[in-house]
Structures are given as structure tokens and as C-alpha cells.
Amino acid sequence: MEVRVKKGFSEKQKSKIDVKRNSTRLLITVNVPGSAGPLRFVVNEDDKVAGVIDMALKQYAHQGRLPLLGSDPTHFLLLPTSLGLEALGASELIGLCGVRNFILCKKQPAELRESRWKAEGMIDQKSKSSSCWKTWLNKSFAFKIHFH
């Protein structure tokens, strides 16, 4: 069955329309710790995890749920419930993990700092500064006690 597309669309726009029609849609469940119940919504299997987190946060806010979470998707992790405690990467495709039940949780402050440093290209500087700090700490606790 061939679908006709209106005139005036470029080839690129036509291919996007065909991809959207052919992509599989998934009903996923996202649990938020401390919230009354899970969020359920439909996503495309080729949606990225970052986009799914953004959709979950928007739906959570639209429903007026508590506790308040915020709206920045970079502050959250999406954990599949059946695959252990390994968070999905923001650029991974949601359909490739093979799971439909997730937990949305906030990143810890250290994780936020590290993800910001990675985004800004400062991860090398962080490791250098932490090694200097560790060296200083080790030297300061290395007391030499002389008994005469």
C-alpha cells in the first residue's frame, strides 16, 4: 500500500513522514519515587532517552504531581526496572533496551557536576584538580613522629 504525500514537500520531509509512519510505538511506564503512581505514555522506539525524560517531566508537571521535580532533563536518570541499577545514556534509543518499565530519579550533586564537566569539556581539569587535592591531603596526614 503506497501512501501519497501532498505536493510541495521536499524529499527530506517525505522521508521523515515515512519514518514516522513506520516506527513502532511503545507504551512505557515511568515510576517516580515519592509520587502517587506511575506515568504511562506512548513513545516511538527510536526516541532518545533524553527526549523520554523530557516528556515524562512535562507530563508529571502537567498533572500537578508532588513532589515537585523541576524541568531540566539533564538532572535526571532513567533506570530500567529489570536490568539492575545501570542508568540509560541520554543518547541511547529507548526501544533498544527492550524494557518498558522505568524509574525516573534525580542525579546526585556529584553526578550533576561530573555531567556538566563532561559537557563543557572540563573533565580532564577535574581529574587534575582532584589528584592535587588528594596529594595535598596525603601529605598533610603523613605525620612524622620522632621518638628520642
User: Digits of tens for pLDDT over the chain (148 positions)?
Assistant: 445 545 565 666 555 555 556 679 999 999 999 898 999 999 999 999 999 999 999 999 999 998 888 889 999 999 998 867 788 999 999 999 889 999 999 888 776 667 666 666 655 544 444 555 556 555 555 555 555 5
Residues linked to residue 77 through DSSP beta bridges, in sequence order? 105
User: C-alpha cell of 88?
Assistant: 540509560
The pLDDT, as a whole number, for residue 142 is 56
- Helix axis angle, 109-120 to 123-141, nearest 10°: 130
In one-letter notation, the amino acid at residue 137 is L
The pLDDT, as a whole number, for residue 14 is 57
Arch. (CATH architecture) of 11-107: Roll (3.10)
Which residues, in sequence order, are CB contacts of 125 under 8 Å at separation 6+?
117
Indicate the pTM of the whole model.
Answer: 0.62
Using alpha carbons only, how large is the chain's radius of gyration in Å?
Answer: 23
The pLDDT, as a whole number, for residue 128 is 47
In one-letter notation, the amino acid at residue 92 is E
Residue ranges per domain, the chain? 11-107, 108-141
